Amino acid sequence: MAAKKGTLYLIPTTLGESKPDWVIPAGVLATSRRLKHFIAENERSARRYLKAIGTEHPLDDLQFYILDKRSKAIDVPRLIAPLLQGVDMGLISEAGLPAIADPGGLAVAACHQNKIKVVPGTGPSSIVLGLIASGFNGQEFSFHGYLPMNKKDRLHKLRILENEVRKTGATQIFMETPFRNESLFEDMMNHCSPGTEICVATDITLQTEVITTHTVDEWIKHPPKIDKRPCMFLMGVSC
């Protein structure tokens, strides 16, 4: 008979410098502290987070297996080897929930293929927190990740999203690397309809959090302060 396999716990972290107690449930913190083996996107940030919440094991005893954007399918068997040997592991990304907008899904998919149990922990998701605080349709929505870098492609994508909102009422969620926030915002101001509603959700879960929904013509009068701050952008129809 095969030995009992370990469980892969999906370990959420804070979005930037917020207090873990404010965004991570006590039960999830307890699980995170108990583990010794982690599949991590970045060892340094994972160690910093685990040090902040405190661990049951000395920090030097923790073991990290790196899964980042350079990782390939061929690296995965080595990452999940402890799980196959019966050891529980944590999957931890640079910020927020793992396996969403990061390469963690590769480990999760391998777990399903190997009948290893996967348990997701509740934690902050800027996509969902932005959505519920936007006042937009929460019954149908799409997340698009980063918009194209190329200007022509980005404007084309914005037109597609605006049409989708108009046609279906479904909320469209997207983001940009912080240093390009201003440029994306300008594109929306210059190319979207004056009546199109945009929610800008900045510094979600941080002390400096600001979440505001306006039409394009209102935003033009009151532009947001988003330069280099983490932002989620939403286009939709107010309920």
- CA dist 70 and 227 (Å) reads 28
Nearer to its own copies (CB atom), residue 62 or residue 110: 110
Our finding on whether 13 is near its own copies (CB under 8 A) is: no
Q: Contact letters (x/-) for its own copies, 14-33, by CB under 8 A?
A: -----x-xxxxxxxx-----
Our finding on whether 219 is near its own copies (CB under 8 A) is: no
Our finding on whether 83 is near its own copies (CB under 8 A) is: no
Nearer to its own copies (CB atom), residue 129 or residue 184: 129
Give, to the nearest 10 degrees, the angle between helix 76-84 and helix 105-113. 50
The site for its own copies, by CB under 8 A, has a size of: 63
Question: Strand 197-202 to strand 231-236: parallel, antiparallel, or no bridges (unpaired)?
Answer: antiparallel
Contacts for 102 with CB less than 8 Å, ≥ 6 apart: 41, 93, 94
For the bound state, the minimum distance from the C-beta of residue 116 to its own copies, rounded and expressed in Å, comes to 11
As given in the structure block, the two tokens for residue 86 are 């019966």
Our finding on whether 204 is near its own copies (CB under 8 A) is: yes
The region of 32-40, 43-51, 154-162, 210-218 touching its own copies under the rule CB under 8 A is 210-218
Our finding on whether 100 is near its own copies (CB under 8 A) is: yes
- CA dist 146 and 82 (Å) reads 33
The region of 48-56, 77-85, 105-113, 184-192 touching its own copies under the rule CB under 8 A is 105-113
Our finding on whether 132 is near its own copies (CB under 8 A) is: yes
| Of residues 195, 205, 204, 196, the one with CA closest to residue 226 | 204
As given in the structure block, the two tokens for residue 78 are 């080595």
Given a contact cutoff of 8 angstroms between Cβ atoms, the answer to whether 110 and 2 are in contact is: no
- CA dist 201 and 206 (Å) reads 11
Helix (H) or strand (E) holding 189: helix 181-191
Nearer to its own copies (CB atom), residue 60 or residue 159: 159
State the residues that interact with its own copies by CB under 8 A: 10, 19, 21-28, 97-106, 108-113, 118-120, 122-125, 127-145, 170, 199, 204-205, 209, 211-214, 238-239
